[in-house]
């Protein structure tokens, strides 16, 4: 069966490329003239669709899953998340299918924003899903954390094969109870987990809310996890699975990134290799060691011969984890806070983060549309502030000039990071964002 | 006595902590600030309000004592100031019964002039009742002569309020309950930007004796030092008869207000 929409969509894609346009237009065209295109194309994949969702770490985790599966010899289709998810996937598919509409891939691994989750999984029930966490994020869009948990639960309910859950996040782990375990159509459940000694570095949202000394509600006994992160070193980590502990070198930095590696490993092990083969452990570990962070999530660039780390912060737990994962000693620090829609409009979240770890060295530079909200927050935590400039370009230039002989670190919200990367690309090589 | 923070293996705590005081206890006296239900009603940076009260007390030369009251706790004695925050539906369900048992006590304290700040969820529960969209009625403790009705409409965005007492009050709202005021309370102010109590009368918040109630989230006090100092001054005068202010540096607060006021709804 030959669909007219594919050649036409591909043509629009070429034309819009020539005109320097984005990816949405061809997706829109195909969506309009052939609404079943995405669904039909994804349905041809022998291993189906795997979706990765949760509030923090989706992009890096999706990248890890893709690289782990590729290490097993699988051909993987994946997406970059965009403003319109379905349209973005349709556009990306157009780039990959042949003129007959066939996709040359074994599996699709898709990063699914909570906002688009329900719409997508209703159209395309995934065979696998990986649900990372439910943290305070984008509250002004969804209203409530519990609602986010419901969205993730809906993804799990639509999953036909295996659901991979974060054992340490009660709102995610609890989803298992809703899947009708033991009944005919229930998906399999697998968990990824943390060693008790690392638990304190991962506040779930209930703990985040508790003040010091208030007892954390007693946790129910934990289920066994397929993969447990046992230890995180300076550039290596220990994972336990199949009854043994393996150490591996890691390019990834930051405890939360490495916990997401345990998540990716669990999903990759559930999927396995081609034709039902079990995953090859040696190859998985080699791939894991090589995974580099995705765009902006704890990424290191070089400026004046010294590292400049960009750490994306978008909610209280992410900011806390960022501060904890990247110790301030020896680094010059800048913080850039914007309040555009993609950053979250409400600045209340800054007050849920403790900045005591920056007290010794202070913060050299503040920037972004809400730089003074950040300054006020630091003042109340007794953290010294160097300079404040709401304009990102001059603030960044002053920061780089002022800390010439020091490695640098910038904590920034999403749109502030885009602006910083744009500026940095003028002076250093920055990975192109598509 | 601020409770000790839970120890974590590498010595860092994820609970909120007051920065260490930099001088030995200033001599003007001690003010006990009680956080109401911080475990369950603290979703949008409510810690900011407690932190601002504690730090400004220090900057005014007083010693803050930060206490908390959670479900099932014994209610502490000698409280001088109460601050309570917002929560999501699940948090409100958890505290509801406990709050009703503490209702008469809180009402007596409010009638007696104890300064209190209640935000969003606790604002609603300090009223007479909350009627949900399905018609279920959740009783409040009646400290405030207000009633709240659940709606399908979520009121979200930056807010600017003109208050006769505190000047321009700036903040952010995010709620679907709509509140109307009875004759025993006055509004905190009228909205110049944003919605406030409900989508019809242009009023925001409620005032009764020394109780300030508002939908402006979580960290309302940092950018509104006039409001913070009203609560502090009232608490100090009530306990010690008079208040001698210090000189907090509000340069960043002033600039943060200027920039926030220019942001779109
Ligand atoms: Zn609210």
DSSP for A153-190 reads HHHHHH-SSEEEEETT-HHHHGGGGGS-TTSTTPPEEE
Domain of residue A390, residue span: 297-424
Residues 125-154 of A with CB under 8 A from B: 136, 139-140, 143-146
Classified as helix, coil or strand, A125 is coil
In a domain? residue A214: yes
Could you tell me how many CB contacts below 8 A there are between chain A and chain B?
158
CA distance B123 to B179: 9
- CA-nearest residue to A371 within chain B is B256
Residues 36-55 of A with CB under 8 A from B: none
Greater confidence (A322 vs A177) lies with A177
What are the residues whose beta carbons fall under 8 Å from the beta carbon of A282, sequence distance 6 or more? none
Lowest-pLDDT range of A61-75, A210-224, A239-253, B154-168: A210-224
In a domain? residue A432: no
* Dihedral sign, Cα of residue A130, residue A325, residue A293, residue A392: positive
Task: Answer whether residue B111 shows pLDDT above 80.
Answer: yes
Same domain, A269 and A301: no
Most confident among A18-32, A311-325, B8-22 (mean pLDDT):
A311-325
Q: What is the pLDDT of residue A29?
A: 64
Same domain, A22 and A93: yes
Rg (CA), chain A: 22
Task: Answer whether residue A96 shows pLDDT above 80.
Answer: no
**pLDDT band of A12, cuts 50, 70, 90:** low
Which among B16, B60, B120, B259 is annotated as catalytic? B120
Q: What is the pLDDT of residue A319?
A: 87
Greater confidence (B184 vs A321) lies with B184
Tell which residue, B104, B88, B97, B95, has the closest CA to residue B46: B88
What are the residues whose beta carbons fall under 8 Å from the beta carbon of B77, sequence distance 6 or more? none
CA distance A434 to A420: 16
Tell which residue, A393, A301, A374, has the closest CA to residue A335: A374
Q: In CATH, what number is assigned to the domain containing residue A382?
A: 3.90.190.20
Neighbours of B25 (CB within 10 A): 11
**pLDDT band of A210, cuts 50, 70, 90:** very low
Q: What is the pLDDT of residue A268?
A: 97
**pLDDT band of A21, cuts 50, 70, 90:** very low
Tokens of A144: 């409530």
> Phi/psi class of residue B77: alpha, beta or left (left: φ > 0; alpha: ψ in -120 to 50)?
beta
- Say which of B38, B52, B255 has its CB closest to residue A211: B38
Task: Answer whether residue A184 shows pLDDT above 90.
Answer: no
Average pLDDT estimate for A328-332: 90
Task: Answer whether residue A182 shows pLDDT above 90.
Answer: no
Greater confidence (A1 vs A409) lies with A409
Greatest alpha-carbon pair distance for chain A in Å reads 68
Tell which residue, B120, B109, B186, has the closest CA to residue B154: B120
Task: Answer whether residue A253 shows pLDDT above 80.
Answer: no
Question: Any bridge partners for residue A299, and if so which?
Answer: A310
**pLDDT band of B1, cuts 50, 70, 90:** very low
Q: CB distance from A65 to chain B under 8 Å?
A: no
- End-to-end CA distance of chain B, in Å? 41
Task: Answer whether residue B110 shows pLDDT above 90.
Answer: yes
Greater confidence (A344 vs A92) lies with A344
CA distance A247 to A239: 6
pLDDT (tens digit per residue) in B6-35:
322 222 223 578 888 876 666 899 999 999
Task: Answer whether residue A331 shows pLDDT above 80.
Answer: yes
Same domain, A177 and A261: yes
- End-to-end CA distance of chain A, in Å? 32
Same domain, A265 and A203: yes
Task: Answer whether residue A274 shows pLDDT above 70.
Answer: yes
Instruction: Note whether A375 contacts B51, CB cutoff 8 Å.
Output: no
Task: Answer whether residue B66 shows pLDDT above 50.
Answer: yes
Residues in chain A: 434
**Last residue within a domain, chosen from A290, A314, A339:** A290
Classified as helix, coil or strand, A106 is coil
In a domain? residue A434: no
| B20 burial type by CB count under 10 A (0-12 exposed, 13-18 middle, 19+ buried) | exposed
In a domain? residue A257: yes
Backbone angles phi, psi at A153, to 5 degrees: -60, -40
Instruction: Note whether B15 contacts A213, CB cutoff 8 Å.
Output: yes
Q: CB distance from A241 to chain B under 8 Å?
A: no
Average pLDDT estimate for B125-145: 93
**Last residue within a domain, chosen from A229, A261, A290:** A290
Lowest-pLDDT range of A32-36, A285-289, B20-24: A32-36
Question: Is residue B31 within 8 Å of B62, Cβ to Cβ?
Answer: yes
Greatest alpha-carbon pair distance for chain B in Å reads 55
Average pLDDT estimate for A421-425: 89
Instruction: Note whether A345 contacts B172, CB cutoff 8 Å.
Output: yes
Instruction: Note whether B3 contacts A214, CB cutoff 8 Å.
Output: yes
Q: What is the pLDDT of residue B84?
A: 92
Instruction: Note whether A376 contacts B223, CB cutoff 8 Å.
Output: yes
State how many domains chain A has: 2
CA distance A220 to chain B (A): 18
Classified as helix, coil or strand, A307 is strand
Ligand 1 centroid to B75 CA: how many Å?
25
What are the residues whose beta carbons fall under 8 Å from the beta carbon of A57, sequence distance 6 or more? A132, A133, A256, A257, A260, A297
Tokens of A16: 């819009």
The enclosing H or E element of A238 equals strand A236-241
- CA-nearest residue to A143 within chain B is B174
Residues 170-209 of A with CB under 8 A from B: 197, 200-201, 203, 207-209
Same domain, A352 and A205: no
Average pLDDT estimate for A288-294: 80
Rg (CA), chain B: 18
**Last residue within a domain, chosen from A248, A268, A290:** A290
Same domain, A211 and A272: yes
Strands (E), A19-126: 49-53, 76-78, 107-111
What are the residues whose beta carbons fall under 8 Å from the beta carbon of A330, sequence distance 6 or more? A406, A407
Ligand 1 centroid to B121 CA: how many Å?
6
Classified as helix, coil or strand, A241 is strand
The enclosing H or E element of A151 equals helix A145-158
Task: Answer whether residue A36 shows pLDDT above 70.
Answer: yes
Average pLDDT estimate for B53-58: 96
- pTM score over 0.80: no
**How would you classify the pairing of strands B137-139 and B129-131?**
antiparallel
- Say which of A345, A354, A382 has its CB closest to residue B157: A345
**pLDDT band of A138, cuts 50, 70, 90:** very low
Average pLDDT estimate for A38-67: 90
Same domain, A244 and A113: yes
Tokens of B135: 């018609």
Instruction: Note whether A357 contacts B39, CB cutoff 8 Å.
Output: no
CA distance B136 to chain A (A): 20
Q: What is the pLDDT of residue A219?
A: 60
- The CA–CA distances, whole Å, from B19 to A266, A315, A335, B42, B66 equal 40, 22, 20, 20, 12
**How would you classify the pairing of strands B167-181 and B146-163?**
antiparallel
CA distance B188 to chain A (A): 20
Ligand 1 centroid to B174 CA: how many Å?
4
Across chain A, mean pLDDT equals 83
Instruction: Note whether A213 contacts B3, CB cutoff 8 Å.
Output: yes
In a domain? residue A269: yes
Greater confidence (B46 vs B4) lies with B46
Q: In CATH, what number is assigned to the domain containing residue A246?
A: 3.40.1190.10
CA distance B246 to A424: 44
pLDDT (tens digit per residue) in B214-241:
999 868 999 999 999 999 999 999 999 9
- The CA–CA distances, whole Å, from B207 to A270, B109, B138, B170, B182 equal 58, 15, 22, 17, 11
Same domain, A258 and A155: yes
pLDDT (tens digit per residue) in A360-408:
999 999 999 999 999 999 999 999 999 999 999 999 999 999 998 999 9
Same domain, A81 and A60: yes
* % of chain A exceeding 70 in pLDDT: 81
The enclosing H or E element of A414 equals helix A414-424
Classified as helix, coil or strand, A402 is helix
Q: What is the pLDDT of residue A211?
A: 46
CA distance A344 to A339: 6
Lowest-pLDDT range of A49-63, A191-205, A258-272, A273-287: A191-205
CB contacts of B170 in chain A (<8 Å) are none
Q: What is the separation of C-alpha A133 from the centre of its chain, rounded to a whole number of angstroms? A: 10
Same domain, A255 and A307: no
In a domain? residue A430: no
Q: Is B120 a catalytic residue?
A: yes
Same domain, A391 and A279: no
Ligand 1 centroid to A411 CA: how many Å?
27
Lowest-pLDDT range of A3-17, A168-182, A292-306, A319-333: A3-17
In a domain? residue A403: yes
- CA-nearest residue to B251 within chain A is A376
Written in H, E and C, the secondary structure of chain B is CCCCCCCCCCCCCCCCCCCCCCCCCCCCCEEEEEEECCCCCCCCCCHHHHHHHHHHHHHCCCEEEEEEECCCCCCCCCCCEEEECCCCHHHHHHHHHHHHHHHHHHHHHHHCCCCEEEEHHHHHHCCCEEECCCCCEEECCCCCCEEEEEEEEEEEEEEEEEECCCEEEEEEEEEEEEEEECCCCECCEEEEECCCCCCCCCEECEEECCEEEECCCCCCCCCCHHHHHHHHHHHHHHHHCCCCCCCCCCHHHHHHHHHHHHCCC
Interface test with B, best of A351, A366, A385 (most B CBs within 10 A): A351
Lowest-pLDDT range of A83-87, A241-245, B16-20, B164-168: A83-87
- The CA–CA distances, whole Å, from B203 to A333, B118, B154, B196, B223 equal 42, 16, 16, 6, 20
In a domain? residue A429: no
Q: What is the pLDDT of residue A65?
A: 95
Instruction: Note whether B223 contacts A212, CB cutoff 8 Å.
Output: no
* % of chain B exceeding 70 in pLDDT: 91
* % of chain A exceeding 90 in pLDDT: 44
Same domain, A285 and A301: no
CA distance B148 to A369: 34
**pLDDT band of A338, cuts 50, 70, 90:** very high
- The CA–CA distances, whole Å, from A340 to A1, A10, A374, B258 equal 46, 34, 15, 17
CA distance B192 to chain A (A): 18
- Say which of A346, A371, A373 has its CB closest to residue B217: A346
HSE (side-chain half, CA atoms, 13 Å) at A357: 22
Instruction: Note whether B16 contacts A354, CB cutoff 8 Å.
Output: yes
Average pLDDT estimate for B34-45: 85
Question: Any bridge partners for residue B84, and if so which?
Answer: B36, B118
């Amino acid at each position: 069966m030959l669909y007219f929409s594919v050649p036409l969509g591909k043509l629009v894609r070429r034309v819009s490329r020539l005109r320097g346009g984005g990816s949405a237009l061809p997706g829109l065209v195909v969506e309009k003239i052939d609404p079943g295109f995405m669904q039909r194309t994804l349905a041809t994949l022998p291993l189906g669709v795997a979706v990765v969702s949760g509030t923090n770490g989706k992009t890096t985790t999706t990248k890890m899953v893709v690289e782990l599966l590729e290490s097993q010899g699988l051909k993987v289709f994946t997406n970059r998340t965009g403003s319109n998810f379905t349209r973005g996937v349709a556009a990306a598919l157009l780039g990959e299918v042949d003129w007959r509409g066939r996709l040359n891939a074994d599996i699709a691994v898709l990063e699914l924003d909570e906002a688009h989750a329900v719409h997508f999984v209703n159209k395309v029930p995934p065979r696998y899903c990986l649900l990372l966490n439910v943290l305070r994020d984008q509250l002004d869009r969804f209203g409530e954390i519990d609602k986010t948990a419901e969205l993730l639960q809906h993804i799990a309910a639509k999953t036909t094969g295996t659901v991979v859950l974060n054992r340490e996040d009660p709102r995610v782990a609890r989803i298992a109870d809703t899947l009708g375990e033991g009944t005919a159509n229930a998906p399999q459940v697998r968990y990824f987990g943390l060693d008790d000694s690392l638990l304190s570095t991962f506040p779930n949202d209930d703990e985040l809310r508790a003040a010091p000394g208030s007892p954390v509600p007693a946790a129910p006994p934990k289920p066994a996890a397929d993969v447990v992160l046992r230890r995180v070193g300076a550039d290596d980590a220990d994972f336990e699975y199949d009854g043994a502990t393996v150490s591996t070198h890691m390019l990834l930095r930051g405890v939360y990134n490495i916990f997401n590696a345990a998540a990716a490993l669990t999903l990759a092990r559930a999927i396995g290799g081609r034709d039902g083969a079990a995953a090859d452990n040696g190859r998985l570990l080699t791939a894991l060691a090589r995974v580099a962070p995705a765009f902006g999530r704890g990424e290191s660039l070089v400026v004046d011969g010294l590292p400049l780390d960009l750490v994306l912060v978008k909610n209280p737990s992410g900011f806390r984890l960022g501060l904890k994962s990247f110790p301030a000693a020896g680094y010059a620090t800048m913080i850039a806070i914007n309040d555009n829609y993609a950053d979250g409009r409400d600045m209340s979240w800054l007050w849920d983060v403790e900045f005591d770890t920056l007290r010794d060295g202070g913060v050299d530079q503040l920037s972004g549309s809400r730089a003074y909200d950040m300054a006020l927050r630091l003042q109340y935590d007794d953290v010294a502030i160097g300079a404040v400039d709401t304009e990102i370009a001059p603030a960044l230039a002053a920061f780089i000039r002022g800390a010439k002989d020091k490695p640098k670190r910038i904590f920034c919200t999403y749109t502030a990071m885009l602006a910083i990367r744009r500026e940095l690309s003028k002076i250093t090589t920055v990975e192109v964002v598509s | 006595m601020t409770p000790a923070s839970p120890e974590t293996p590498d010595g860092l705590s994820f609970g909120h902590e007051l920065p260490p005081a930099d001088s030995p206890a200033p001599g003007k006296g001690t003010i006990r600030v009680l956080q109401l239900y911080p475990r369950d009603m603290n979703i949008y940076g409510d810690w900011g309000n407690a932190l601002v009260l504690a730090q400004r007390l220090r900057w005014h030369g007083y010693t803050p004592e930060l206490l908390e009251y959670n479900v099932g706790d014994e209610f502490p004695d000698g409280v001088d100031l109460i601050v309570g925050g917002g929560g999501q539906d699940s948090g409100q369900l958890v505290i509801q019964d406990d709050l009703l048992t503490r209702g008469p006590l809180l009402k007596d304290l409010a009638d007696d002039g104890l300064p209190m700040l209640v935000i969003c969820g606790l604002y609603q529960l300090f009223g007479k009742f909350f009627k949900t969209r399905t018609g279920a009625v959740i009783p409040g403790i009646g400290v405030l002569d207000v009633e709240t009705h659940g709606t399908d409409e979520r009121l979200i965005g930056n807010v600017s309020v003109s208050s006769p007492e505190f000047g321009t009050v700036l903040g952010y709202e995010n709620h679907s309950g709509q509140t109307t005021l009875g004759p025993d309370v006055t509004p905190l102010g009228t909205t110049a930007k944003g919605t406030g109590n409900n989508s019809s009368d242009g009023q925001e918040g409620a005032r009764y004796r020394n109780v300030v109630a508002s939908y402006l989230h979580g960290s309302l006090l940092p950018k509104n030092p006039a409001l913070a100092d009203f609560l502090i001054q009232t608490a100090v005068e009530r306990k010690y008869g008079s208040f001698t202010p210090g000189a907090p540096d509000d340069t960043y607060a002033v600039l943060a207000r200027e920039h926030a006021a220019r942001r779109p709804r």
